[in-house]
Amino acid sequence: MPIALDTSETVDVWLNSDAHKPEAERPVFVFHHLSYKQFRQVETLREEADKVADADDHEARELRVQAVKLGLVGWRNMGFGYDATDDLSFLTRWEIFELAWGYPKKLEMTEIEKKAPSSRLPSNSESSTASQPSPNPSDSQTVPAPSAPGT
């Protein structure tokens, strides 16, 4: 079954500021794997947000929230239950930015790890042309810093 259709296949993502917290207490956002179409939608929303950020910080934030919500299916350890209709206003603009840019990359890396062959070396009887997933070099970009309003 395609991983994007398997509702049991989720990935936990946390904010950098929470990374030091014990796993049992760490607030996490739960994301499902994105189809290619959904991944492109996320990219488009992020690009649109970056274009309008200087002129309209509120619109940029709303576009990034939409990008996050395309993959968000839950959260844990937030102090309140998950609500799919939540506007994520409890997050700062920097946290929304971090999630919008970070979660798709985490999903991709998790998928690559899941689909990568085991660490064993292929035997002589196995094809030496076995396909191995590899990250797209064009995706290995650094996360740009968000624009400050009015700059």
Summarize pLDDT for 19-70 with one digit per residue, the tens: 999 999 999 999 999 999 999 999 999 999 999 999 999 999 999 999 999 9
Predicted confidence (pLDDT) per residue in 119-146, tens digit: 544 544 444 444 433 333 334 344 455 5
Q: What is the pLDDT of residue 12?
A: 96
Q: How many CB atoms lie within 10 A of CB 53?
A: 21
Asked if residues 34 and 42 have their Cβ atoms less than 8 Å apart, the reply is: yes
Q: Which two tokens stand for residue 119?
A: 């660490």
Residues 6+ apart with CB under 8 A from 103: 11, 13, 29, 31, 68, 71
Tell the residue number behind the tokens 């990359």, with chain if given.
105
* Structural domain boundaries in the chain: 3-115
Candidates 124, 150, 21, 36; CA nearest to 76 is 21
Q: What is the pLDDT of residue 127?
A: 40
Instruction: Give the model's confidence band at 116: pLDDT under 50 very low, under 70 low, under 90 confident, else very high.
Output: confident
Q: How many CB atoms lie within 10 A of CB 70?
A: 18
Q: Which helix (H) or strand (E) holds 103?
A: helix 93-115
Instruction: Give the model's confidence band at 88: pLDDT under 50 very low, under 70 low, under 90 confident, else very high.
Output: very high
Average pLDDT of span 93-114: 93
